[in-house]
Chains A and B, each alone.
Chain A
């Protein structure tokens, strides 16, 4: 069911990972991604993987949940793996018909699959452990310097916040409408591609209508509470860096430097 999509979902908790400042987590994710792409050998991959594993364990997010959110992306991962497997030049291992599997191909495939999965899992850890509000607050704060060059940072952050907030609502709504149409015998699972595309109309029309209605209502509600953009707006919860954040950030920098160094030596 649609409900099972855990992509971008927040799992409330009170672990060290949950308690970190969202800015710290955002920076760490960037650090992590850079590290992942600088990793060049088995050792550096192992280091990055260990770091990821540590975060997963600390955050107490179940592996089952992570595996579930990977599901929709499984196709892309497998495809990338297969492409790498068959299209890498090098010493042939086996060959049949028009396919040749090379030793490099196997390596590349394994590393690509690992890299994509780690990339996805790493970014998911951010949304799993950070509420959408904290996330946008952090992003707004981090991007604040861009206001000088007239980037509407607050407005962008607000838009992102609203979008994130409404993903679950939208999914729920889609589920409801789908059920209602199924109750009238709509069939989304069988038929040709054309028929299936057509079968989406009874879902999309009501969904769009209710989204517009909701957007309208939200705009009115925000205006009624005197929302007028970011200027002069104060916050209930100011973000403050704690000791833990400084320690983590320093750890992150050391980690990145280490991985880059390892990669440099081809490890």
Chain B
């Protein structure tokens, strides 16, 4: 089966021909399968945001191509527009793009642009609102009287309501408290499971990445430096650190423990895994 989304030698140069010319991404070749949860990490300015804005055709590549279902999204205008709806993109701090009088209307903006029928729009708005946990009574409120975290949910619902096959989120949890963060991640997982959607998430939190994604892409200076399961990527901690990145704190603890001579498995990156690993270690010792 062809991957749902692919990039071929994707390159983007900002401000070509001006004194501010800069290569944001170079020769990026990636493919995304249906139903995958992929994480993208990379230092500030490594080109993550630039990359994802190509995936729904907001940015036109200066080199290379983007394929949706094996077809170039730039092959014709209609398909480019269709791509916008099939690949939903939630920007960084999306709460600043709210504009309608009510939460309901704001969530309905996307589906309306798709040209759906009124009752279909209504269904989708309510479904999207329930995915992100917006209570019914908030739908008629003005988005501007909600808290920051609630606004963010509304903004995410606005994209989910288009029911995209691929949902891309740029640092969806930035600036939220731990409960708000876990809440939003749970919403995203719920959407993914319900729609068998592909989710691509940019994040600076290694913990968040480690406990959610099935595959990880590491960007470094506009290029893909590594890709693989979190388990594989996080074992290359030295390389990650040299790229200005980090590994989950629990993994750091385990690496130190191994350095101190304990025979622990260092490919753990969530507290649950750590606990399990420690228990088996103790169990093993007990036998000996």
Binding site for B on A (CB under 8 A): 3, 6, 11, 62, 64-65, 68, 176-177, 179-187, 201-203, 205-206, 209-210
| Chain B residue nearest to A201 in the complex (CB) | B99
Q: Is the CB of B17 within 8 A of A185?
A: no
Residue of A6, A184, A186, A210 near B159 (CB, 8 A) is A184
Q: At the interface, yes or no: B18 with Cβ under 8 Å from chain A? A: yes
Query: Which B50-94 residues have C-beta < 8 A from chain A?
Result: 53, 56, 58, 81, 84-85, 88-91, 94
Q: A11: which B residues are within 8 A, CB to CB?
A: 19
| Contact code string B130-151 (vs A, CB < 8 Å = 1, else 0) | 0000000000000010000000
Q: Collect the chain B residues with CB atoms within 8 Å of residue A65's CB.
A: 18-19
Closest to A213 in B: B96
Interface 9-mer from B33-41, B109-117, B187-195: B109-117
Is B113 touching A185 in the complex (CB atoms < 8 A)? yes
A210 surroundings in chain B (CB, below 8 A): 96
| B113 touching A209, Cβ below 8 Å | no
Inter-chain CB contacts under 8 Å: number:
62
Contacts A183-B91, A185-B85 given; does A206 touch B15 at CB 8 Å: no
Interface residue tally of chain B, by bracket? 20 to 34
Q: Which residues of A contact B159 (CB under 8 A)?
A: 183-184
Query: Which chain B residues have a beta carbon within 8 Å of chain A's beta carbons?
Result: 15, 17-19, 53, 56, 58, 81, 84-85, 88-91, 94, 96-99, 109-110, 113-114, 144, 158-159, 162
Question: How long is the Cα–Cα vector from A177 to B95 in the complex, in angstroms?
Answer: 10
CB pair B99–A206 under 8 Å, yes or no, is yes
- What CA separation (Å) do A11 and B15 show in the bound complex? 14
Q: What chain B residues lie within 8 Å of A206 (beta carbons)?
A: 96-99
Report chain A residues within 8 Å CB of B15.
3
Show 21 A/B contacts (Cβ-Cβ < 8 Å), sorted by A: A11-B19, A62-B19, A64-B18, A177-B96, A179-B58, A179-B91, A180-B91, A182-B58, A183-B58, A183-B84, A183-B89, A184-B110, A184-B162, A185-B81, A185-B84, A185-B114, A201-B99, A203-B99, A205-B99, A206-B96, A206-B99
Closest 3 CB pairs of A and B: A185-B113, A205-B99, A184-B110
Residues of B within 8 A of A186 (CB): 109, 113
The answer to whether A64 touches B17, judged by C-beta atoms less than 8 angstroms apart, is yes
Contacts of B114 in A (CB 8 A): 185
How long is the Cα–Cα vector from A202 to B97 in the complex, in angstroms?
Answer: 8
Distance, CA A252 to CA B97, complexed state (A): 50
**A184 touches which one: B17, B19, B96, B113 (CB < 8 A)?**
B113
A68 to B, closest residue via Cβ = B18
Nearest CB of A to B193, in Å = 23
Given B53, B88, B144, which contacts A179 in the complex, CB threshold below 8 Å? Answer: B53
Q: Are A209 and B144 in contact (CB under 8 A)?
A: yes
Question: Smallest CB-CB separation from A186: which chain B residue?
Answer: B113
